[in-house]
Structure 1
Amino acid sequence: MSNSVNTNVGALVALSSLRGINSELDKTSKRVQTGYKVADASDDAAVFAVAQGIRGNIKAYASVQSSLAAGEGLGQVTAAALTGISNLIGDIKAKFANLADGSLTSEQREVYTNDAEQLLSQINNYISQATYNGKNLLDTNDGTLVTFVADVSGTTLTLSTGSGLSSAAATDFASVIAAYTSADGYSAAMVGLSTLESLVNSMSAEVAAQARSITLQKGFVDDLVDATKTGLGALVDADVASESATLQSLQVRQQLNIQALSIANQQPNMLLSLFQ
């Protein structure tokens, strides 16, 4: 190698190596700081574009999860109300059986009648309180069909109670009971109660089947989102432990290159000794 004061080849080599190390150090430091090996398009434009598309899908699925969760909640509230009404109907049947006893005094009959009316009034309460997120499937005033988004393509699932179970139904039964004054009348009331019971049982089965579909779909969407996030992570996440080790290695190499550059820069000064 020639000795020149105009061109310091050693310094140029050390400087070039230092630039490369600094560039790698910046990239590795970015990965450690962000946790991503592909944080933006400058890291890898193709992978970043794919990742952005996946992130968009995850956001869309988040809306689907919210909709299905609302459906699950409404289904549970409606099912609980219908179960409560069904239990009340059983209690009312017991009152009707008592009222069919022709040996009752007028005072006893009045007590049983009042009890039956109170139970039917409670049915009204169950109907009006079966509300979730502003929706009530039992009261026809609020509507008896609600749809929920099931996937990102716009497919929907439905919760419906058919004709609904309006609060007027229980009121009508209470009026019928109040009108009866003989044991014979309660047989007719029992027929009316059986009609209500059949309606409630039919609604319970319908809501249970629909709610089960929503719950199953919600579980599937939850699993799908988890799998999508895992795939996204494999695509863009950095191995922070590995990157940290690489960062330390590059920092050591950086210091060594700085020292090499310093030594190379001192080389021309050695030529001065030739003139002493």
Structure 2
Amino acid sequence: MTNVSVNTNVGAMIALQNLNKTNSQMEVTQNRINTGLKVASAKDDGATFAIAQSQRASVSSLDAVKDSLSRATSSVDVAMSAGESISDMLTQMKEKALAASDTSLDTTSRVALNTDFEALRDQLTKTMQNAKFNGINLIDGSLPGLEALANADGTSRLTVAAQNLSLGGSIVTLATTASFATSSSAGALLTTIDASINNVSAALAKMGTSSKSLEAHLTFIGKLQDSITAGIGNLVDADLAKESAKLQSLQTKQQLGVQALSIANQAPQQVLSLFK
């Protein structure tokens, strides 16, 4: 037979333990609903929290990678735009030189053509010098190339080779002082201009390939970042539908626990009836 005591109410103690347990579980569930996370801190699950934090650092680092790739893409695009303009100007210069190589042309007309030729030549240099983005010029010979971050650790990089489109260089072989005064000197420039046009086209093709590579990698980094973010969510996000159902269950248990505790607290009063 269970001892009846007014000093030690075992029933109340058990009811209180169960009620405290229910309240503790209810607090956890409410926190999950409030934060949307089943692992909001290391206290919830140290191992999972550490993994999630590591992956969050990777996601944050990938933002820097995307910025680096975007800057590199912009630099290449500016260089390509300038290169296309230079190619167009070389084509116009060829037209002027070809027209001036006509032996039937009078001196005045040839001088006018040479003036236009020299203006295009000088404009070519200005275009090349102003092809900058964020202080980077990939076609004036000031840089050997450009490197962009390729991963979150900074251990891998994408390299874009510069293309020197300066006059008198290996690509634009036309001299910085190129001009003509006679039909023969104008004709002599045609071969050089043709070679320069072909070289510029090849240089633009290389930059175009580099630009595509940068854009493709930027797209991949974006998808990788999304995948890692989704993975973090799988680790730490709470199932709110499940937590909502659990909350209702715990609320019912809490009410029953309070009722059980109330009943257990009334037990010592039954001792009074024994002394009547």
Q: TM-score, normalised by structure 1?
A: 0.87
Shift of the 238–192 alpha-carbon distance from structure 1 to 2, 3 Å rule, reads: same
What letter matches 2:215 in structure 1? Answer: T
Structure 2 regions of 5+ residues with no counterpart? none
Give the aligned partner of residue 246 of structure 1. 246
Shift of the 114–174 alpha-carbon distance from structure 1 to 2, 3 Å rule, reads: farther
CA shift, 1:154, in A, is 0.8
Structure 1 regions of 5+ residues with no counterpart? none
Matched residue of 2:272: which SS?
helix
1:43 maps onto 2:49 in alignment: no
Give the aligned partner of residue 198 of structure 2. 198
Q: Is the 8 A contact 2:100 2:183 kept in 1?
A: yes
Q: TM-score, normalised by structure 2?
A: 0.87
Whole-Å separation in 2 of the counterparts to 1:99 and 1:253: 100
Worse overlay, 127-136 or 244-253: 244-253
Give the aligned partner of residue 84 of structure 2. 83
Give the aligned partner of residue 211 of structure 1. 211
What letter matches 1:125 in structure 2? Answer: K
The within-5 A match list for 1:248-263 is 248-263=248-263
Whole-Å separation in 1 of the counterparts to 2:230 and 2:53: 14
CA shift, 1:107, in A, is 3.4
Give the aligned partner of residue 233 of structure 1. 233
Matched residue of 1:184: which SS?
helix
Aligned residues: 272
Q: Is the 8 A contact 2:29 2:246 kept in 1?
A: yes
Whole-Å separation in 1 of the counterparts to 2:167 and 2:4: 104
Give the aligned partner of residue 13 of structure 1. 14
CA shift, 1:174, in A, is 6.0
User: What does the per-residue CA deviation read over 1:56-82, in whole Å, with 9 as the maximum and x for residues that have no partner?
Assistant: 322333322222222222222222221
Matched residue of 1:175: which SS?
coil
CA shift, 1:209, in A, is 2.1
Give the aligned partner of residue 181 of structure 1. 181
Whole-Å separation in 2 of the counterparts to 1:8 and 1:122: 99
Worse overlay, 109-118 or 23-32: 109-118
CA shift, 1:202, in A, is 2.4
Give the aligned partner of residue 134 of structure 1. 135
CA shift, 1:137, in A, is 0.6
Give the aligned partner of residue 64 of structure 1. 65
CA shift, 1:125, in A, is 2.9
User: What does the per-residue CA deviation read over 1:244-272, in whole Å, with 9 as the maximum and x for residues that have no partner?
Assistant: 33223323322332233223223323443
Q: Which structure: greater helix fraction?
A: 1
Whole-Å separation in 2 of the counterparts to 1:248 and 1:118: 82
Whole-Å separation in 1 of the counterparts to 2:33 and 2:138: 52
Q: Is the 8 A contact 1:28 1:243 kept in 2?
A: yes
Q: Is the 8 A contact 1:120 1:171 kept in 2?
A: no
Whole-Å separation in 1 of the counterparts to 2:57 and 2:47: 16
CA shift, 1:190, in A, is 1.6
Shift of the 121–242 alpha-carbon distance from structure 1 to 2, 3 Å rule, reads: farther
CA shift, 1:241, in A, is 2.9
Q: Percent identity?
A: 36
The within-5 A match list for 1:24-39 is 24-39=25-40
Whole-Å separation in 2 of the counterparts to 1:214 and 1:171: 29
What letter matches 2:177 in structure 1? Answer: S
Give the aligned partner of residue 97 of structure 1. 98
Worse overlay, 66-75 or 100-109: 100-109
CA shift, 1:158, in A, is 1.0
What letter matches 2:251 in structure 1? Answer: Q
CA shift, 1:167, in A, is 5.9
Whole-Å separation in 2 of the counterparts to 1:78 and 1:100: 32
CA shift, 1:187, in A, is 0.9
